[in-house]
Amino acid sequence: MKVTIDGIEIEVEPGTTVLQAARMIGGDVVPPAMCYYSKLKDTGGNCRACLVEVSKGSEADPRPMPKMMPSCKTGVMDGMEVKVKTSERALDARKAVTEFLLINHPLDCPVCDQAGECDLQNLSFKHGLEKTRFKEEKRTFEPENIGDKIQLHMNRCILCYRCVHTAEQVCGSRNHGVLNRGDHAQISTYVSAAIDHEMSGNMIDVCPVGALTDKTFRFKSRVWFNKPFDAHRNCDKCCGKTTLWMFGNEIQRVTARKDEFHEVEEFICNECRFDHKEVSDWVIEGPRKFEKWSVINQSNYTRKMDKVVIDTEKQILEGRDQDRKKISMKEVPYKTSEK
């Protein structure tokens, strides 16, 4: 099947969605996705951030689709033509969606541990307004304790349902879900039961915002002060391939490796994530690279950093060795004949 996205033609299998086709092309044409997660089934269609304009339905029916289509749920048709960044309408829609997503988002990025690797932050940085037009009160929830490993901030949740799908598909047993409807909808464990499945930590990685964060990393450091390293260990429950977020010699956080679309490459177990915080537990492969624009690059982790040693006292009091050999210094005799 042939599909044209922003003038770039690509051949894909039947059954691929427009978003997947765009991701195959890569680069600028990939629409942002807040709820769709390629590693999980049935995700997508909630956030509307990936809306695209279909300017030609298919070869058989070339009429354009009247409404914006969510690219994560729209299957490709032969000869389909899609406009992503070339369409004014699609960009306008994305702007509007961003504004809607931010309506109930508390904008506490200075406090939030997700800041710096947050999908909503990236989205609003690219498409958001500088000022909010929302005058009403934002929805707030009572803080709820859902266990000692995962921190839930319901105020920040954008109801993408990714964590619910993770609980269903990765953890097998679902012990948390979405309660109530509309403005009152909230992610919750039923009767505040702690999430204790051995893969439950993946909900932290899957969450596009800071609604589910690592409690063991809470307020420890900002993301961009850590140096991320790829590492692995032998684990019988998962692949054991992780990213370590180091500060000096201390492992502050362990996450799964995330690809260019901020989706985990492979899910990891809670033992790897929470219980192994010693450098000796891991085989460190090397620094993990991020996009050029990412704030994480701030910590200059890819360069080898030599430890700076300044011998203050000696330098200040006596000066450098080579300087002391100069004429004005006592060590060098004044007359050349005295040498």
Partner 1 sequence: MSIQNTSLSGRKKQVSNKEMTLGERLYIGAIAGGMATTFKHLFKKKVTINYPEETRPFSPVYRGQHMLMRDEEGRERCTACGLCALSCPAEAITMKAAERKPEEKHLYREEKYAEIYEINMLRCIYCGLCEEACPKQAIYLTKSKKIVKADTNREHFIFGKEQLVMPLDQAIQNTAKSE
Work out whether 261 is an interface residue with partner 1 (CB under 8 A). Answer: no
Work out whether 220 is an interface residue with partner 1 (CB under 8 A). Answer: yes
Interface residue with partner 1, options 24, 177, 295, 297 (CB under 8 A): 295
Can you tell me the distance from the alpha carbon of 294 to that of 292, in angstroms, rounded to the nearest whole number?
A: 6
Query: What does the angle CA 213 – CA 157 – CA 39 come to, to the nearest 5 degrees?
Result: 70
Of 290, 286, 283, which is closest to residue 304 (Cα–Cα)? Answer: 286
Strands 2-5 and 80-83: parallel
Work out whether 297 is an interface residue with partner 1 (CB under 8 A). Answer: no
Tell me how far, at minimum, the Cβ of 110 lies from partner 1, in Å. 3
Cβ nearer to partner 1, comparing 218 with 314: 218
Rg of the chain, C-alpha, whole Å: 26
Number of residues counted as binding partner 1 (CB under 8 A)? 15
Work out whether 108 is an interface residue with partner 1 (CB under 8 A). Answer: yes
Cβ nearer to partner 1, comparing 32 with 116: 116
Work out whether 275 is an interface residue with partner 1 (CB under 8 A). Answer: no
Partners of 247 in the beta sheet? Answer: 250
Cβ nearer to partner 1, comparing 81 with 113: 113
Work out whether 132 is an interface residue with partner 1 (CB under 8 A). Answer: no
The total of other beta-carbon atoms located within 10 Å of residue 33's CB is: 26
Stretch that binds partner 1, among 38-46, 159-167, 219-227, 279-287 (CB under 8 A): 219-227
Query: Which class for 175: exposed (0-12), middle (13-18), buried (19 or more C-beta within 10 A)?
Result: middle
DSSP classification of residue 65? P
Stretch that binds partner 1, among 70-78, 106-114, 157-165, 280-288 (CB under 8 A): 106-114
Work out whether 247 is an interface residue with partner 1 (CB under 8 A). Answer: no
Q: Which two tokens stand for residue 141?
A: 């929830």
Work out whether 110 is an interface residue with partner 1 (CB under 8 A). Answer: yes
Work out whether 312 is an interface residue with partner 1 (CB under 8 A). Answer: yes
Can you tell me the distance from the alpha carbon of 229 to that of 251, in angstroms, rounded to the nearest whole number?
A: 10
Binding positions for partner 1, rule: CB under 8 A: 108-111, 115, 218-222, 224-225, 295, 298, 312
